[in-house]
Amino acid sequence: MKIARNIAITVVCIILGVMVAWQYKSINYNQNAMSYQNKRAEGLMEEVIRLQKNNADLRTQLQKLQNDVRLYESAKAGSDEASKTLLEQLKTARIFAGFYDVKGKGIIITVESNIYTVLEDDILALVNELRAAGAQAISVNDERITAMTEIRDAPPYTMINKVPVTAPFTIKAIGDPEQLENSLKMISGVVENLQEFLKITIKKSDDISIPKVREDGSVIKIDLLNPVSQ
C-alpha cells in the first residue's frame, strides 16, 4: 500500500514536471510568434507609406502632362508654346546632366588622410550617402560627379573624370543642409566609421557653387548609345 502510494506520487510528480517544462516552452513560442507578426506588419506599413508617397508624386507628374496634352489638342498651341515647352525640357535635361554651373544651400565635407590614406572606396561611400540624403549636385575637388563619373586610385593621385586630384578632398553637395548633415552624422553611419582612420570635417553653407562638367566628349560619352525608337 505504501509502495503503491509512493509510485503514484512519483508518477504524478513526473507528469507535473513535464507539464511545467512544456508550458514554459509553449508560452515562449507563442510570444515569439506574436512579435514576429508585429515586426512583419511594421515593415509592411512602411512599404505602404512609401508607395503612397510615390504614387502622389506620379499623380502630380501625370496632371502636368495631361494639361500640356490638352493645350496641344485644343490646337491653341502655336510656335511660341512649342518652343517654350522644348526650351524648358532642354534646360531640365542639361541641368540634370550636369552641364551648368549651379549654386544653392548645402554642405562642404573635407577629408584628409590620418592613420590611413583616403581611398576611392571612402569617397564612393561618402558620395553615395550624400545621394541617399537627397543631394542634387555633388563635386569632389571641383570635379562634378555625373552619372558616369569614375573615382580611381592612382597613387599619389586619385583620378576623377580622368583628372588627377589629391588629398585633402573637398566634397561639396547642394541639397537640404539639415538632412545632409543628419544623414552623414548618423550614429555608426558612414562618417563615424571613416573617422577612425581619416580626418573628416562637415560644414553647412548657404552659398555653395558647383562647377559644370566638361562637355568635350571626354567625360560623358554617347558614341555607343543607340536610341531605341519609341
Partner 1 sequence: MKKGSWFVLFLIYSILGFIISLQFRSNMSTKKEKSASVLNTERLLAQVEQEKKTQTELKAEIEQNRKKIEEYLKSYIELNDDRKLKDLWTALYDAKLKAGFTDVEGPGLVIKLDDAPSKKSDDPLLSIIHDADIQIILNELKKAGAQAISINGERIVATSEQLCAGPTIRINKEVYSVPYRINVIGPPDDLYYSLMMSERVILMRKQGIRITVGRSNKVLVEQYKKDPTKLISRLEVIGL
Residue closer to partner 1, measured from CB, 118 or 135: 135
Q: Give the shortest CB-195-to-partner 1 separation in angstroms.
A: 17
Contact of 77 with 71, CB cutoff 8 Å: yes
Say how far apart CA 150 and CA 46 lie, in whole Å.
34
Q: Which three-class secondary structure state does DSSP give residue 138?
A: strand
Closest CA to 140 of 123, 128, 153: 123
Q: Residue 161 or 167: which CB sits closer to partner 1?
A: 161
The answer to the question of residue 12 lying near partner 1 (CB under 8 A) is: yes
- CB of 201 vs partner 1, minimal distance in Å: 23
Answer yes or no whether residue 201 interacts with partner 1 by CB under 8 A: no
Site string for partner 1, 22-61 (x = CB under 8 A): -x--xx--xx-xx--xx-xx--xx-xx-xxx-xx-xxxxx
75 half-sphere exposure, CB direction, 13 A CA radius: 0
Output the CA–CA distances (angstroms, integers) from residue 30 to 24, 26, 40, 74, 75, in the order listed: 10, 6, 16, 65, 68
| Least Cβ distance, residue 45 to partner 1 (angstroms) | 6
- Contact between 35 and 41 under an 8 Å Cβ cutoff? The reply is no
- 162-191 residues in contact with partner 1 (CB under 8 A) are 174-176
Check residue 101 for interaction with partner 1 (CB under 8 A): yes
1 binds partner 1 (CB under 8 A): no
Residue 147 binds to partner 1 (criterion: CB under 8 A): yes
- Report in angstroms how near the CB of residue 160 gets to partner 1 at its nearest: 11
Cell of 120: 576611392
- Site mask, partner 1, residues 58-77, x = CB under 8 A? xxxxx--xx-xx--xx---x
126 makes contact with partner 1 (CB under 8 A): no
- The answer to whether the beta carbons of residues 210 and 95 sit under 8 Å apart is no
